[in-house]
Amino acid sequence: MKDLMRIKSLISNEIETLLNQQVKKEAHSSAIYLSMASWCNRNGYDFSSEYFFKQAEEERLHQLKIYKYILDMGGMSVSPEITNIKLEYNSFREVFEEALDQEISVTQSIKNIYARCLKEQDFVTMEFLNWFLKEQREEEYKARRALELFEVIGEEGTGRWQIDKHVGEIKYPPQA
């Protein structure tokens, strides 16, 4: 039966595997952001905690979007196991540095899937991934801007409090 289903699948085994790996990356990102939200909350950065809770939810929605796409294409989605989530950070700034690194890693992963789709001429999946590429542009922008607050405001005196206060206000500028 699996062979018959594979014939009817609109994605190759390799694309299905890459997409399931991306499901895991999105779930991992969500768990990382939950950990960051918890750390911020424990350390008195309430606005940043809320910011990371929202990021965690967004990553979970990305995970589900890819998961459902695999199923819609006749593939088999795999629920990922998530382990080894960092719970402690050395500084407020480190949380945001790691958030940016995480977004860059996710962008690169999506670009790699896109490149494989191009090689296989899987234009349907490429079109699906376009939404994620646009989303990652926005996510990286917000992560970079959050980190820039540390340079613009500085951490001395009430600096961390000001950074915390402004993190949630970062918006991606509308495209002209």
The answer to whether position 175 is within a domain reads no
Task: Enter the pTM of the model.
Answer: 0.90
The answer to whether position 28 is within a domain reads yes
The answer to whether position 173 is within a domain reads no
DSSP letter, residue 43: T
The mean pLDDT value for 147-163 works out to 92
The answer to whether position 75 is within a domain reads yes
The answer to whether position 106 is within a domain reads yes
> Whole domain around residue 95: which residue ranges?
2-167
3 — pLDDT class (breaks 50, 70, 90): low
Please answer whether residues 66 and 106 qualify as being in contact, where contact means their C-beta atoms are separated by less than 8 angstroms: no
The answer to whether position 19 is within a domain reads yes
Q: How many other β-carbons are positioned within 10 Å of the β-carbon of residue 4?
A: 8
1 — pLDDT class (breaks 50, 70, 90): very low
Number of domains composing the chain: 1
Domain of 92: which CATH number? 1.20.1260.10
